[in-house]
Amino acid sequence: MTSEPDEKTFAGDARSPSGEDDRHPALVFLRGELLAAPIPLEREEVTLGRALEADVRVNDARASRMHARINVERDPKTGGARYLLTDLDSTNGTLLNGQPVKEAYLRDGDKLTVGEHLLRFELLDDIDREYQRQIHRLLAHDELTGLLTSKSFFSELRRESARAEAEELPFCVLMMDIDHFKNVNDTHGHLVGSQTLEEVGAIITRALRAGDVAARFGGEEFAAFLLKADCAQGLVAAERVRTSIEAHVFSAVRRGAESDTGETLRLTISVGVAAYPDDARDPIQLVELADTALYRAKNLGRNRVVAYCVPPPDLKPGDNQTSGPR
């Protein structure tokens, strides 16, 4: 039975006291992969679920493929918008403020539970929406390089691998590690080291195509996945990253230092490549295989690209891992 909107239910025209339309409905993730991300609800119908075709995709095993729906209606009395939440006969149900519901009108601040994900229905003005976007960016991106964090990288990778499987498209994963980076910190200090990592992140971004996704895994290790790219294309992109790092002249002086001696340093990077579906179909396994290829590159002398599917001719049997420093 549908609960009727009461005096607290949002059923107006979302106008501010000044009479301007400046508040917009949105779902804000409070728990889950898209933490703090505001999802606008400005269509007449929005579906939530695990399926690729869902408008708001919830990458959660406890969520049904098409889990719930939100419809915009017009209040017959006021003519303003009101928002009807409907559970689509989901396996584990939809909770509204902790209670299972089949249908209910949403109020500003209501909390929805879909699988393990918790979302809040909010009416946001432009300042609120920008604030939520900035919070999400801070949580999803590495503060130093601006690249995705490893957690966000895996979330995006799982999402895109599901799409690639559905559309039968190839993609590649790159694992990258700066060679002997410890020497930079030991010789020039950690502030120069951080400055150098920031530049490396920018170089990797420029070397990849628009639409490719890069991340910093921590320390001097980076990762990327390349959409609609087979193994050969992945090797080309990886080599572009490698040569760009090798050719770049990094400053060995801290930015803003009182005396700039003009001292510089050079770096190299090793890259491992794994391809979907040739090497594996599971996205986590692809990362592991790309990391195995990275170890091979390290064993072969560093400053090179190795694909998991193409064992190097000079790799000795059993040399898939290295115990030495990266």
Among all residues, which ones are annotated catalytic? 220
| C-alpha span between 77 and 313 (Å, rounded) | 77
Taking phi first (over 0 means left), then psi (-120 to 50 degrees means alpha), and beta for anything else, what does residue 94 get?
A: beta
Q: How far is CA 150 from CA 115, 166, 212, 217, 311, in A?
A: 23, 24, 15, 5, 27
Q: Which of 198, 174, 173, 171 is nearest to 184 (CA)?
A: 198
**DSSP assignment of 91-107:** SS-EEETTEEESEEE--
Residue type, 90: S
| C-alpha span between 267 and 272 (Å, rounded) | 17
Helix pair angle (190-207, 231-247), 10° resolution: 140
Residue type, 25: P
